[in-house]
Amino acid sequence: MGEELAGLQKLYEMVMEFVVNYSFQVVGAIIIMVLGFIVAKKLGNLVSAFCQKRNMDVTLAKFFGNVVKMLVLIFVLIITMGKFGISIAPFIAALGAVAFGSTFALQGPLSNFGAGITIILTRPFTVGNTITIQGVSGIVKDITLTSTILDTEDGEEITIPNKHIVGEILHNSFANRVVEGSIGIAYHDNPEQAIEIINQTLEQFPQVVKEPSPQVGIQEFADSAITIGMRYWVPTNHYFQTLFQVNQQIYKNLMDANITIPFPQQDIHVKDLPGHLQGEPCQHG
């Protein structure tokens, strides 16, 4: 019993000594941390709002806001550690050693991070643009430091690591996507009439963008038909829906105008053959 009381007494004295010696430092550190978080958040939001007012891209504005917030938090952490008399020099040295040792293991994430900064600073595309990269296409939903997220018309979400975007061939059609198609008509039909019908059909669809205007004309003279080509722009999230509806309506309107859509055909001409090839017996010497 006496040993337990002695242990409690010793613990009490240690606690009291800590409170007497470090109470003000602890309270001060807590106050500094709380105020630091508040100031960092406010300052980061202020920088983001300022950048957006200057018509800067939303992604780039958020990036600058987060950088400022992180710098303020690092500064607050250094001050807080100083309150306890902790030197940051050993931590910086240890951090450098860890960073050097993990460089090879983090090549993938670090390359994504570097590519993300490049995308944010150079802005080859922004949120809301339609891009095609690495064989996939979609509307840019978000751009982070490690990846770019696309939305498709089917409601799918595609995540592309940023290192697979920088340095690759990138197609950016902004808010819309081009529809390219063709249809063949018979040579005895009037191509000007067919072009006019297709133009009128496209005008019936509000999804078809008026600027740039649709392009319709003779694409080529094929073996069995005159090929009419068409190019028009539609919002990316209505691409396939509009494509199917437009094709169906073009077919219907051409049929109503008695314009023939021919199928591939070949004419075979049989010439007179020599007598022995027409069934006459051959004489052998």
Domain shared by 80 and 133, yes or no? no
Query: Domain range for residue 159?
Result: 125-173
Q: What's the token pair of residue 93?
A: 């040295």
Question: Which among 25, 205, 51 is positioned nearest to 120, based on CA atoms?
Answer: 51
Which helix (H) or strand (E) is 125 found in, with range?
Answer: none
Q: What's the confidence (pLDDT) of residue 172? A: 93
Please report whether residue 276 resides in a domain.
Answer: no
Q: Do residue 211 and residue 155 come from a single domain?
A: no
Is the residue at 189 inside a domain? Answer: yes
Domain match, 131 and 69 both: no
pTM of the prediction? 0.59
Residue 164 is classified by DSSP as G
Of 133, 158, 173, which marks where a domain is finished?
Answer: 173
Q: What is the CATH number of the domain that holds 184?
A: 3.30.70.100
Q: Is the pLDDT of residue 85 over 90?
A: no
Distance between CA atoms of residues 198 and 251, nearest Å: 9
Q: Quick one: residue 104, left, alpha or beta (phi over 0 = left, psi -120 to 50 = alpha)?
A: alpha
H or E element, residue 131: strand 130-133
Does residue 47 share a domain with residue 80?
A: yes
Q: Give the integer Cα–Cα distance in Å for 63 and 116.
A: 10
* Residue-wise pLDDT tens digits, 9-31: 676 667 666 655 666 666 777 78
- CA angle, 36 then 42 then 47, to 5°: 120
Q: Which of 146, 253, 137, 236 is nearest to 195 (CA)?
A: 253
Give the CATH number for residue 156.
Answer: 2.30.30.60
Which of the two residues, 61 and 8, has the higher pLDDT score?
Answer: 61
Same domain assignment for residues 213 and 167: no
Domains: count for the chain: 3
- Asked if residue 111 belongs to a domain, the reply is no
